[in-house]
Structure 1
């Protein structure tokens, strides 16, 4: 296979996996269910997923060469933004603390689930502490910050004691309703496309490998991390890895050129420049294969490659991913970007 051949990726499979992923709550630190899901999906394709002590998953694709110690890793994260119950108020409302970095106004009015330690789930809604313009004259200007936000439970819980009787306590995980929509024209809008769209792309790679029987020359490891949104998803890396491609969403806006149909190739983010040779190779492969792509700089962005480098990993690293609009808010991408991300990863693996 040459670098210019585009694989016959199974678009329907990729979209189905993405729908499955988006419907499974997985804020950072609460990824048990989604990792079991990935494990089962990998097994259906004939692959085994190992787990690290911190909860990351690794699928190893053996290379055809006997050379060792030159492994390529592709990593995407399953964890998402969310929250944790900070305290229960006297009126039964829940104060919460964010998991991950988002602007508080992006979750105002959002439906959510509270996951108790004993396995119960309760629905709620995120509101400001002055939620009605008919009652509070300052409602429009009320600052949307942690101290001014709360969760209204959809239960008979008008006091702290009544909320506690439901089994709710500080430390319970809160997940946002993803509000996922797959449109017939290929548009996909949902919370948590960062980074479940990339996870779906990696499973598209796995499905193609299983169906085609083709193998890369060198060993490839797919790593699914569980703490990226809080900064240390891939701080540990297996020692045989020499190159790492973080597969994470491409940001859109301001002077950036990435669109929701592009594979974003990030040359530099807040951690500094990515490996020049790897980035150049990815750009050239995308050009040769006719894959719609853009090269951008993301000064407010960090990735699992950043975490690996800061953690002391002696690897070269690059960053690509599907373009996603309104990241850490009500996100949107297009199926083309997800499929093309998988195609570029295959081109790099086989190059």
Structure 2
């Protein structure tokens, strides 16, 4: 199987994954889909009580866990207004100023789904005297249903606590650019699917025991707080940051040296960067001042592990995000060499 074919597979899996709404706390359909993909490959995924997925890829000794998260940003119905509109509350670090005018879906507890649009309380330029600040209390969901009061909304089966998911609008251009909501972190989930597929089809000889962990509460801080007891090393495969004062671009693999919770394992960062350099990969070592990862949740949970963080460069995080297939390729190759050298 050629690298080109596997990158195409990763792109198709990204589209499938982003098409499944999975805000934190509402990830069952996404985990079911992922388990099905691994079972088709011949693996035996295990689902934890919490909803995380663990998949042993093979190998022996010095257990390594690669982790990515399936949960995304989103919202929940906080209250139903008298005018039939919904007041939302945030799930994770969702930024309302990026969602004004976005199409969305509302999922009820009895299995129904209704479409709608996110708008501020006075969105019309021909009506408002001044712009409304895009903050949570000024945002509302307008349902695409003929309802204009609270009773009408409740009659649809919508209630407080229902999940609100934004339209991902996933596009991969001919030039290789990837545009979508929730590249954080479904792009890396797709990369790990590609790694698992290559191990089976190409017969990679793994240099240690390698497992994948897909978490479902990363966006609220405790996704990776429970991991296999034998884990010695854990690498979070998450988005690489692109922005001011950073060297990473959308076409690179990012290796994080430090984030808001402190430095990553010095020797592991050094090893990953040396491999990237030796292989001629386009990479950057960066510091992320506003970032936390699943491996740090594991450390906070008391696990004695070496920890690292890598991922394809993603611009406009927690917004309508953008990456590139070159960033996917560089991330994939770095992981391949780290697992087989």
Pair in the same fold by TM > 0.5 = yes
Matched with 1:44 is 40
Quote the Cα distance in structure 1 between the aligned partners of 2:330 and 2:38: 21
Quote the Cα distance in structure 1 between the aligned partners of 2:114 and 2:258: 41
Quote the Cα distance in structure 2 between the aligned partners of 1:8 and 1:95: 45
- CA offset digits 1:185-220 (Å, max 9, x no partner): 111100000001100110110111011122313111
Quote the Cα distance in structure 2 between the aligned partners of 1:90 and 1:284: 60
**Structure ranking higher on relative contact order (CA contacts 8 Å, 6+ apart):** 1
Aligned pair partner of 2:49 in 15, 38, 53: 53
> For the Cα contact (< 8 Å) 1:9–1:343, is it kept in 2?
no
Q: Segments of 4+ in structure 1 off by > 6 A?
A: 6-9
> For the Cα contact (< 8 Å) 1:200–1:338, is it kept in 2?
no
Is 1:105 matched with 2:91?
A: no
Matched with 1:236 is 226
Matched with 2:18 is 22
Aligned pair partner of 1:338 in 302, 313, 328: 328
> For the Cα contact (< 8 Å) 2:204–2:340, is it kept in 1?
no
Is 1:85 matched with 2:74?
A: no
Larger deviation: 252-261 or 39-48? 39-48
Q: How many pairs align?
A: 340
Aligned pair partner of 2:203 in 208, 213, 237: 213
Contiguous gaps of at least 5 residues in structure 1: 1-5
Residue 339 of structure 1 and its aligned partner are, at CA, apart by 2.3
Matched with 1:137 is 129
- CA offset digits 1:39-73 (Å, max 9, x no partner): 1111121111101110000110221x4x4xx2000
- CA offset digits 1:146-165 (Å, max 9, x no partner): 11110000001100000000
Secondary structure of residue in 2 paired with 1:301: coil
Pairing 1:145-224 to 2, within 5 Å after superposition? 145-224=135-214
Quote the Cα distance in structure 1 between the aligned partners of 2:163 and 2:303: 31
Contiguous gaps of at least 5 residues in structure 2: none
